Amino acid sequence: MCLGAIYWARPARMVYACNREDASTVGFDDSFIYDELEKHDSERHIPTQQLMREEAWQAMQAWTEKKDKTQY
């Protein structure tokens, strides 16, 4: 989610020091997150369930039709 927020914010550039392999070396291994994202919802370590898609989709459509929105 943090990376998603960074991209949605559209900064001119992103600067970092250590990469994900460096983080893994010291115990901050997030490779399982990338693995989880590739799995079907029913196969993930944390049970994942999609609910109320139709209602949520109505909100997305309202955003699409909004005339005075800020484009991201």
Q: What's the predicted TM-score (pTM) here?
A: 0.50
* Residue 1: pLDDT band with limits 50, 70, 90: low
pLDDT digits (tens, 9 = 90+) for 47-61: 899 999 999 999 999
Short-list 20, 51, 52, CA closest to 34: 20
Give 3-25 pLDDT, tens digit per residue. 888 888 999 999 999 988 898 89
Asked if residue 72 has pLDDT above 80, the reply is no
Q: CA–CA separation, 68 vs 57, rounded Å?
A: 19
Integer Cα distance of 36 and 44 in angstroms: 6
Question: Domain ranges in the chain?
Answer: 20-65
Torsion of CA 37, 42, 47, 52, to 10 degrees: 90
Looking at residue 17, its amino acid is A
Is the pLDDT confidence value at 71 over 80?
no
